[in-house]
Structure 1
């Protein structure tokens, strides 16, 4: 993997910590976890170069686990690799962002419907939502975002289809890149706690169709708020419009 540095936009020095990683994980898994968290919380910005030697120095590792970690993140869509410019945080353009959210609208509500029908444990979703609410009240939008993603994952984990879970996991990470860019474009986050409470209440009541409908509306609401700020407008025939037919 190339170690070249890119030029252009000025980025803050890479600031990473092993504080939140599993101490029993191997070095590659630890590095991937740290870099993923930094990307998902916006500490590593879209387009920011990921120089192996810099990351290795900050984390106190050799370059080998960093190189393997970056390959893993390329596979999940968070990092891109150029033969001329090396690795960098993926910058989501409007086409990619629309495609990611189109797939979420197609797959995630169905994952939640199946989980509710399967009687999935809603305890983890409740805990994640409470943690997200507390983080939001404390002004920690990075932690709020992470707990919100955990909330969404907890709702589809019992869908019974491991391929669907893996696909949604990858989409969840890529959607986070859109979220990071969207927050910068719209000037902040939107309070989604009430929408999440409604989805969870429907799931707790065993109403699979209602939970799926509320989730689809929730995702569509984000599309309508954020994608226009990224590119000026959303195609009226695109995923947001398609969702209104559900």
Structure 2
């Protein structure tokens, strides 16, 4: 089914609000008032309303018929829900990618690590991290796996942003990323999958209570 084109004005609002959420400028639980956002961004309420609907679909915004829209709260339950699914699927996807792909296929992962090092803010770093993880699982050969993991990317970024606001752990995570990529390049797909699972589990264990 072909994707529906998003009007350029709505897309601009979408990008602006998403960037504000992923830099922490709009904080979890903060109300997103259409008239205020429209005035700040110099648009009518219509593209704001459409952008908020899209962000709700991506899991970054919650919509209430009584309270309106707000930035999604990040709690232990959300973190475990998102990361449990990643633990179940992503290591296996990376193992399959490592078995199928040539060494040149990992250049985009390496470029994403460099982009994360150069990132100007949390949103840029989140984007680079998402591109790194996607580069690792993209070659798994299973479109459903890829679709599920792609669908979790924004919610993963929301959780990470909330964590980085109180615990700037991205340097540790970057070192773990490089170890995973080194294992893949060494032809050790099983080790890479194990390191990835440990990487995901460690992030949750450091920052969220058990549920």
Deviation, 1:84, is 0.9
TM-score, normalised relative to structure 1:
0.75
Deviation, 1:37, is 2.2
Deviation, 1:181, is 2.4
Partner Cα separation in structure 2 for residue 182 and residue 148 of structure 1: 14
Partner Cα separation in structure 2 for residue 25 and residue 152 of structure 1: 29
Is the contact between residue 200 and residue 211 of structure 1 (CA under 8 Å) also seen in structure 2?
Answer: yes
Deviation, 1:131, is 1.7
Partner Cα separation in structure 2 for residue 40 and residue 166 of structure 1: 22
Partner Cα separation in structure 1 for residue 73 and residue 126 of structure 2: 18
Find out whether 1:46 has 2:28 as its counterpart: yes
Is the contact between residue 22 and residue 122 of structure 2 (CA under 8 Å) also seen in structure 1?
Answer: no
Give the alignment of 1:144-155 within 5 angstroms: 144-155=125-136
Partner Cα separation in structure 1 for residue 29 and residue 47 of structure 2: 22
Deviation, 1:174, is 0.9
For these two proteins, the number of residue pairs brought into alignment is 203
Partner Cα separation in structure 2 for residue 26 and residue 111 of structure 1: 34
Instruction: Identify the match of residue 170 of structure 1 among 131, 135, 151.
Output: 151
Deviation, 1:134, is 3.1
Partner Cα separation in structure 2 for residue 167 and residue 31 of structure 1: 26
Instruction: Identify the match of residue 188 of structure 1 among 142, 153, 168.
Output: 168
The residue that corresponds to 2:3 in the other structure is none
TM-score, normalised relative to structure 2:
0.86
Deviation, 1:190, is 4.4
Give the alignment of 1:214-233 within 5 angstroms: 214-227=195-208, 233=209
Give the number of the structure with larger relative contact order, counting CA–CA contacts within 8 Å between residues 6 or more apart: 2
Aligned CA-pair RMSD: 2.1
Give the alignment of 1:53-64 within 5 angstroms: 53-64=35-46
SS at match of 1:206: coil
Deviation, 1:129, is 0.2
Structure 2: 5+ residue runs without aligned partners? 1-5
Is the contact between residue 111 and residue 156 of structure 1 (CA under 8 Å) also seen in structure 2?
Answer: yes
Structure 1: 5+ residue runs without aligned partners? 1-23, 228-232, 236-246
Is the contact between residue 40 and residue 173 of structure 1 (CA under 8 Å) also seen in structure 2?
Answer: no
Partner Cα separation in structure 1 for residue 128 and residue 180 of structure 2: 15
Find out whether 1:157 has 2:138 as its counterpart: yes
The residue that corresponds to 1:73 in the other structure is 55
Partner Cα separation in structure 2 for residue 110 and residue 76 of structure 1: 24
Partner Cα separation in structure 2 for residue 112 and residue 225 of structure 1: 23
Is the contact between residue 74 and residue 81 of structure 1 (CA under 8 Å) also seen in structure 2?
Answer: yes
Find out whether 1:91 has 2:73 as its counterpart: yes
SS at match of 2:151: helix
Find out whether 1:211 has 2:192 as its counterpart: yes
Partner Cα separation in structure 1 for residue 176 and residue 35 of structure 2: 43
